[in-house]
Structure 1
Amino acid sequence: MTQATDDFLDIPAQQAQFCDLVTNALQYARQVGASDAAAEISESRGLSVAVRHRRLETIEQTRDRGLAITVFAGQRRGSASTSDFSTDAIRKTVEAAWHIARYTAEDPAAGLPDPSQLALHYPDLDLHHPWAIDVPEATRLAVRAERAALDTSEQITNTEGASLDTMEGHFVLGNTRGFLGGYPYSRHSLSVAPIAGQGDGMQRDYWYTSARKAQALADPARVGRYAAQRALSRLNARPLKTGHYPVLFEAPLAVGLLGALVQATSGGALYRKASFLLDSLGQPVLADHLDVIENPYVPGAQGSSPFDGEGVRPLARRVVGQGLLTGYFLSTYTARKLGLDTTGNAGGSHNLSLRSRLTRAADDLPAMLRKMGTGLLVTELIGQGVNYVTGDYSRGAFGYWVQDGQISHPVHEITIAGNLSDMFRQIVAVGADVHHRGAKSTGSILIEKMAVAGQ
């Protein structure tokens, strides 16, 4: 695969130009009277191709760019943005932000990070791998994935289509505390959603592959066949009797439980007192065999970044150790609201992974089913029934009834419920079947018992 050759991908020249534009914007902010300022300029482009019934359905090509600036008048701040990079437009944008800042209320937590926290030197994390793919080739790969799904079985009667998406971009971030930096990045993905059965018995499932490098994507035919197998396995689903059962979250869903922990321990929720994990530093929040590790510096990983959205050095750290919470997820602003220091998480977490000290290399999904014995394997969640203030958790679900360590039959029309505080503490095992989704990864998660509402 070759790299594109247009001026968009002349990254050194583009980055140098962006550095000049950011520097000029910051200098002008000082000239109009700002006590501090931060600016970010970015540009991205993408291609999305969708096919259905082996025919091209939609093509979307995107190209976006913009400059955003925030200026401070002491502890007052204002922000403005533009997609016009001319000198006159940037000056007008700075002036608009300054006008807003002069008339807003003071906020004691407002302000830029301390210079000692900034990533003035940072590593190249290998995050940019452009894919020079045209529409015909993108269409061919998407069709190949859908065809593989349709050819898996005569019971695959339809699809919602397949899509291929590729994007790349680059940016520069700077502030008047001495930070100026940026880098290029890329993301690519392929997905397919087949439908099995007919009439009221139809079932849909999907699968996907994503990576920063096109070469790291799974084979399209393999993605299609696996998506079809997932849809076929859902046929003849039936309700389940209401009760309390062990619940095993399939790894792609289990990532969502890790996301719930991040949400509950993020600065915004904490300073607003909208979290069930208030004042939880040093307290047990997970079962004592569990650790949560954050590592922003993994080369090529989707959650890697040498600095956060404010230019702050992110931390390679243990967020949870032996079940005890050792750190929150804080930006400069939310840290000040809590009387703490930023953790370099302006913009979110970085390569967060849940690990159990009990996990063994052989603990794949079949092994996790055997550990559960009899209970519910959940493979799809429906709705957004999570209350982060109380921790109450209630979601519609689809899955499989497991008897004596073996899948017995698919189940639907059920709801699983509990409280996240209890669920986190009742995690009895984490599988070695690790799934990566964005900036988070975990294996399947087995919870000792949850309420399941069915018939």
Structure 2
Amino acid sequence: MTESLADLTARLIDIARKAGADQADALARDGASTSIGVRDGKLEEAERSEGAEVGLRVILGKRQACVSSSDLRDAALAEMADRAVAMAREAPDDPYIGLADPEALSDLRDADALELCDPAEAPTPDALMQDALTAEAAARAVDGVTQVQSAGASYGSSRIWLAASNGFSGGYTRTHRQTYCTAIAGTGTRMERDSDGDTRLHQSDLRTPEEIGQSAGERAIARLGAVQPKTGRYPVLFDERISSSLIGHLLGAVNGAAIARGASFLRDHLGKPVLPEALCVIETPHRKRAMGSRPFDAEGLPTTRRAIIDQGRLTGWTLDLATARKLGMTPTGNAARGLTSPPSPAHWNIALTEGEASREDLIAQMGTGVLVTSLIGSTINPNTGDYSRGASGFWVENGQISHPIAEATIAGNLIEMLARIIPANDARPYLSQVVPSILIEDMSVAGQ
């Protein structure tokens, strides 16, 4: 497309106002991506996609509607705006919708300082395929790996632009580069599978394909001979690979949308301890080269660093404009939206305070227990925090890893679990969710 996204969104806002909208905002996105998959040393799939599309939200009084289109011709945009206005007239009233006041809008309108876009030249399809082949070969070279289920690499670049009738207009470009590998060890009914991968905004930060492939193979080998653990109550150590899921449940419980519905196990915990006293959960939307970074939210409000949990205490909810109005609070700059949906609360980069002990120290501290490296399915009651998930990993005996386990179920209550977590010091600082391995000293484990 020859028209800039800024001009496109401004034009669409103007069209929407002429169609009868009282307020409107538009989100435009374009980009291109290439992905390569290999198997048995040969190219298995190659995909290339590119395009542009735009989403429009119109507000009539206290009614709203969202539409989107990939047809950017004048006639198509006019039809799109007319359809949105007609839909809004039939929508139910919502007293809490509406754009932000102009004086509340972010002064930051780009992400240049956040380094979200890699200035290096995009890799060729051949370079991506070579990375995939290298990862596959590294996995195959691990003694005991019988096959590689999949290996691949991808690269993409996308631009977004947000504009609204309240005067906001801003956007930025984001890139990503990925390499992954999934290896299989064993044969027949004794096969085990595991994987590794890495995704970064800048190609120079990516781990080598050799390291990724070797890690996938070694992880698969380590799972061979897995058995069900003994049923009982044991310490459970959530490996750093999956520990962020626990903090994810906490973040879901402090999401303003859940609070507004009354569907949160933390709804009565504002200002109260929810984690051990020394721990904080910090949101940092302006981290450089981080997946969750952004200069402004989907309503044009500024994103800022905030302590969601400060010294163990819950400080506030995560709010977009509508949920903030509903709860009588101030928005936190956490609105996210798609092309066809209105804004809703979301979290950006998150970090849990790390501990002083290593993962190995916590394993030694456990005595007898379970190290969980993979979670399967879930039964989480958002109102009570009751927690039950399928798990696999390793049995720990006398403070040392003994053998792999599978087909286990771990259960507890998230309020009690979060209140006594013990973090290790092994978090990966470049991830969007920087969460170390987490030990919970008493959980129900169901197996044989």
Tell me if TM exceeds 0.5. Answer: yes
8 Å Cα contact 2:122/2:155 also seen in 1: no
Identify the residue that residue 449 of structure 1 maps to in structure 2.
442
Residue 432 of structure 1, aligned match among 416, 419, 425: 425
8 Å Cα contact 2:290/2:430 also seen in 1: no
Q: How does 1:156-171 map to 2 (within 5 A)?
A: 156-171=145-160
TM-score w.r.t. structure 1 length?
A: 0.92
In structure 2, distance between residues paired with 1:103 and 1:237: 57
Q: How does 1:99-118 map to 2 (within 5 A)?
A: 99-118=86-105
How far residue 64 of structure 1 moved from its aligned partner, in angstroms, is 3.1
Identify the residue that residue 11 of structure 1 maps to in structure 2.
none
Amino-acid identity (%): 39
In structure 1, distance between residues paired with 2:317 and 2:173: 28
* 2:128 equivalent to 1:138: yes
Residue 137 of structure 2, aligned match among 119, 139, 147: 147
Identify the residue that residue 5 of structure 1 maps to in structure 2.
none
Deviates more, 1:142-151 or 1:49-58: 49-58
Identify the residue that residue 353 of structure 1 maps to in structure 2.
351
Identify the residue that residue 58 of structure 1 maps to in structure 2.
45
Q: How does 1:365-384 map to 2 (within 5 A)?
A: 365-384=359-378
**Counterpart of 1:152 in 2: which secondary structure?**
coil
Change (3 A) 1:438 1:309: farther
Amino acid at match of 1:399: G
Q: How does 1:8-407 map to 2 (within 5 A)?
A: 17-122=4-109, 124=112, 125-129=114-118, 131-153=121-143, 155-347=144-336, 348-356=346-354, 359-360=355-356, 363-407=357-401
Amino acid at match of 2:47: E
In structure 2, distance between residues paired with 1:171 and 1:375: 47
**Counterpart of 2:198 in 1: which secondary structure?**
strand
8 Å Cα contact 1:76/1:107 also seen in 2: yes
CA RMSD of aligned residues (A): 1.6
In structure 2, distance between residues paired with 1:419 and 1:435: 27
In structure 2, distance between residues paired with 1:103 and 1:234: 56
How far residue 332 of structure 1 moved from its aligned partner, in angstroms, is 1.1
How far residue 437 of structure 1 moved from its aligned partner, in angstroms, is 8.1
Query: 5+ unaligned residues in a row in structure 1: which ranges?
Result: 1-7, 9-13
- Dislocated runs of 4+, deviation >4 Å: none
In structure 1, distance between residues paired with 2:125 and 2:108: 39
Query: Across the two proteins, how many residue pairs are aligned to each other?
Result: 436
8 Å Cα contact 1:131/1:214 also seen in 2: no
How far residue 438 of structure 1 moved from its aligned partner, in angstroms, is 5.5
**Counterpart of 2:382 in 1: which secondary structure?**
coil
In structure 2, distance between residues paired with 1:383 and 1:40: 34
* 2:408 equivalent to 1:414: yes
Change (3 A) 1:208 1:423: same
How far residue 33 of structure 1 moved from its aligned partner, in angstroms, is 2.6
Deviates more, 1:206-215 or 1:63-72: 63-72
What's the CA shift string for 1:78-117, capped at 9, x where partnerless? 2221111122221221111111112222110111122233
Amino acid at match of 1:440: Q
What's the CA shift string for 1:397-443, capped at 9, x where partnerless? 1111112321111111211011111110121x211110368631111
How far residue 131 of structure 1 moved from its aligned partner, in angstroms, is 5.0
